[in-house]
Amino acid sequence: MLNKKLKKFVDALPIPKTLKPVHKDKNEAYYEVQMREFRHKMHRDLRPTRLWGYNGQFPGPVIDVNHGEPIQLKWENKLPDKHILPIDKSFHHLDKLPEVRTVTHLHGSETKPESDGYPEAWYTRDFRKTGPEFKTGVYHYPNSQRGATLWYHDHAMGITRLNVYAGLAGMYIIRDEQERFMKLPSGDYEIPLIIMDRSFHDNGDLFYPSQPDDPQENWPNPSIRPFFNGETNVVNGKIWPYLEVEPRKYRFRILNAANTRAYQLYLDSGQSFYQIGSDGGLIQKTAKLDNLAIESAERFDVIIDFSDHEGETIPLKNNLGPDADPEDETDDVMQFNVSLPLSSEDRSRIPRNLTRIPSLRQNNIQRIRNLKLVGSTDSLGRPLLLLNNKKWVDPVTETPKLGSTEVWSFINVTNFTHPIHIHLIQFQVLDRQPFDLDRYNKDGNIMFTGPQEPPKANEKGWKDTVAAPAGQFTRVIAKFGPFPGDYVWHCHILEHEDYDMMRPMSVIDRDRRG
């Protein structure tokens, strides 16, 4: 890793470019995106870094579309045959598969299965080789769901952590008419913040460890590790950048695109965030928060008001907690410099009430599933995280019927939080309830230690990724649709997802299967 410290807040925050369609007619627009290797300067004092990016950009271009306007998008793999990061080939038969494979998942999107980015629907450069579930390189996105901040990233079986870490991630925005009349900050005052962490070699190349910190002699090299936190924070492709802002309100669409790291964001000025949206779009009421606890893959849509801070520099911080390593510099994320003159009167507003979200509790609940998040070890003694004690290759056990409503309880018997993501749907968080984890580890019995706790104010909306804390039941409710077919659900710590905390899910069409 780096032997020198990089100076913070010396690079301006880049604003990702917006993708333009190749052509467009009255029915739909058609886009093309190529995954390419390129070099990108991450910091003033660091040599350009070799990365993989959508259209040779890091992060990829913002795809900005309107509700109800479908698009087609061709994802082309133009990457080299050799990976730039260390691959553990000891599981999922990766030793028999091409080293570089990609398949893009539009995270949070309601799409048909052939456009969802199934992990085994991978393909290599120019579609020379394809996985068993590959159907097409042109994906169809209906964009028929509510306006929301989604994101796209690689989802290839067993190497998602490496492909995303190499740079394959970007933001996707669906807009709807409702927001246009709310006088939210817009145009130059609406900015994506794609936050992640990375480590580097002195020559500027990405550093990703080839083994866990304490490998055993019988473990392969490379060998997957259960987590990885980088030594720097990166926002929109720059390490610890700054953004010059006017003394007015700004809207920030925040995405945690880190492999493992959860962020506890706060403003050093002590001012509040006004959260207006989460994964699935606007929440019911604006949530005034001093701290944003954002797990990997979650999106927070917030307004920050700089009106009373003219001339100030305001760091966006990450609370590392009282036991943090004093050498850990990731307590800083970026900095806002309120240094620009006010270009025009700020007529934007922070609404109190945002939208109506009908509760799914009124639906006929057809199934309640209790799903354990468990820790285990593999045949070599390496950590192995599982869902309900099952591996990816085990038969499908989650088979909701199309149009049915189910409650899923994630019972976390490990000692850390897992962000759980379900493909195809947006769900609602019902509640969480703590139990005695030590007691469970002794005798396997669940003893609750407190009442059911309602979701946080900023979780009272549509979600596709939920924090499932250790020693708690986390309950969500979902209506499964609008399409039948094969999807997946998994932990979104990418090291966990790759091995082996991901399960197939089949949404069954009752009309077709009787």
CA distance 156 to 133: 11
The single residue listed with the structure tokens 């001093």 is 290
Other C-beta atoms closer than 10 Å to the C-beta of 193 total 21
Judged by DSSP in three states, 58 sits in coil
Q: Which tokens in the block code for residue 158?
A: 């067993």
Q: Following DSSP, what letter does each residue of 407-429 receive, concatenated?
A: EEEEEE-SSS-EEEEESS--BEE
Q: Is the pLDDT of residue 514 over 70?
A: no
CA distance 33 to 56: 9
Give 302's strand partners: 252, 275
Q: Which of 176, 196, 215 is the last residue of a domain?
A: 176
28 shares its domain with 169: yes
231 shares its domain with 169: no
pTM score of the predicted model: 0.97
Q: Are 395 and 498 in contact (CB under 8 A)?
A: no
Q: Which tokens in the block code for residue 209?
A: 């460890």
Q: Are 82 and 129 in contact (CB under 8 A)?
A: no
Contacts of 163 (CB under 8 A, 6+ apart): 52, 102, 153, 154, 156
> Which structural domain range is residue 138 located in?
23-176
Q: Which of 176, 206, 229 is the last residue of a domain?
A: 176
333 shares its domain with 369: no
CA distance 259 to 279: 17
In degrees and rounded to multiples of 5, residue 60 shows phi and psi of -65, 170
Instruction: Please report which confidence band the pLDDT of residue 106 belongs to, taking 50, 70 and 90 as the band edges.
Output: very high
Residue 18 placed within a domain: no
- Considering its fold, how many domains does the chain have in total? 3
Q: Is the pLDDT of residue 341 over 90?
A: yes
74 shares its domain with 31: yes
Residue 167 placed within a domain: yes
The single residue listed with the structure tokens 């492909």 is 163
422 shares its domain with 327: no
Average pLDDT over the chain, rounded to an integer: 96
365 shares its domain with 509: yes
Determine the pLDDT at residue 33.
Answer: 98
319 shares its domain with 392: no
**Residue 207 — left, alpha, or beta (φ > 0 → left; ψ -120 to 50 → alpha)?**
beta
pLDDT digits (tens, 9 = 90+) for 59-74: 999 999 999 999 999 9
pLDDT digits (tens, 9 = 90+) for 451-496: 999 999 999 999 999 999 999 999 999 999 999 999 999 999 999 9
Determine the pLDDT at residue 101.
Answer: 98
Q: Is the pLDDT of residue 394 over 90?
A: yes
Residue 496 placed within a domain: yes
Residue 2 placed within a domain: no
CA distance 391 to 374: 11
Q: How many residues does the chain have?
A: 514
**Residue 397 — left, alpha, or beta (φ > 0 → left; ψ -120 to 50 → alpha)?**
alpha
Terminal CA-CA length for the chain: 58
The single residue listed with the structure tokens 């007015």 is 248
In degrees and rounded to multiples of 5, residue 255 shows phi and psi of -120, 130
Residue 104 placed within a domain: yes
- Kindly report the CATH number assigned to the domain that includes residue 216: 2.60.40.420
Using CB atoms within 10 Å of the CB of residue 444, give its burial: 0 to 12 exposed, 13 to 18 middle, 19+ buried: exposed
CA distance 271 to 147: 27
Residue 14 placed within a domain: no
Q: Which tokens in the block code for residue 292?
A: 């944003």
Determine the pLDDT at residue 178.
Answer: 86
Task: Tell me the average pLDDT across 123-145.
Answer: 97
Cα separation values, 95 from 306, 379, 380, Å: 53, 17, 17
Q: Which of 305, 337, 369 is the last residue of a domain?
A: 337
380 shares its domain with 487: yes
